[in-house]
Amino acid sequence: MSFTYLDDRSVYEERYDKTTVAICRDREEMVHKFLGARPALNSRGEAEADSGYYQYSLMYFHLVEEMAGERWQEREDTITKWMGEDEAKDRRLADAKPATIPYCRSCGEDSRDTASEHEVRRVCRTTGNGRSER
């Protein structure tokens, strides 16, 4: 089994789209909390002059629709960037080589092996910390 970071493009598209929807819904909720429900239009489909419909529409446009448009414009670039980052991680993982000398997880210094008849113990040269291997 090999582990890879890079997924199908559809996974990145779904992640981006879900994030966009969540952001827009949060902003829509802000508009509703601040201005209340969207004012109704009259029977002719027109807004009453004092209904606040225009204020609501302007606020909704700037907070929700404008953000959705910006996210749409940045979608391809962002998805391509994410895929490039994951591809680079995969390349680094594929090119990784194990350390030839074990090192201490606490301080990063080289460790040395000490042996007794029952166990081999890796001990840090600096801190003296170690772990046993049977």
Confidence of residue 29 (pLDDT cuts 50, 70, 90): very high
- Say how far apart CA 104 and CA 119 lie, in whole Å: 18
- How much is the pLDDT for 107? 72
Q: Which residue has the tokens 């080589």?
A: 97
Q: Identify which of 20, 23, 6, 31 has the alpha carbon closest to the alpha carbon of residue 73.
A: 20
Note the pLDDT tens digit of each residue in 40-61: 777 777 777 666 778 888 899 9
Dihedral pair phi/psi, residue 9, rounded to 5°: -55, -35
In order of 10, 115, 118, 131, the CA distances from 112 in angstroms are 48, 10, 17, 11
Helix (H) or strand (E) holding 113: strand 111-115
Please report the DSSP string for 23-80 in residue order. Answer: HHHHHHHHHHHHH-SPPPP-TTS---TTSSHHHHHHHHIIIIIHHHHHHHHHHHHHHH
Statement: residue 134 has pLDDT above 50: no
Total residue length of the chain: 134
pLDDT at 63: 93
pLDDT value at position 115?
57
* 8 A C-beta contact, residue 69 and residue 87: no
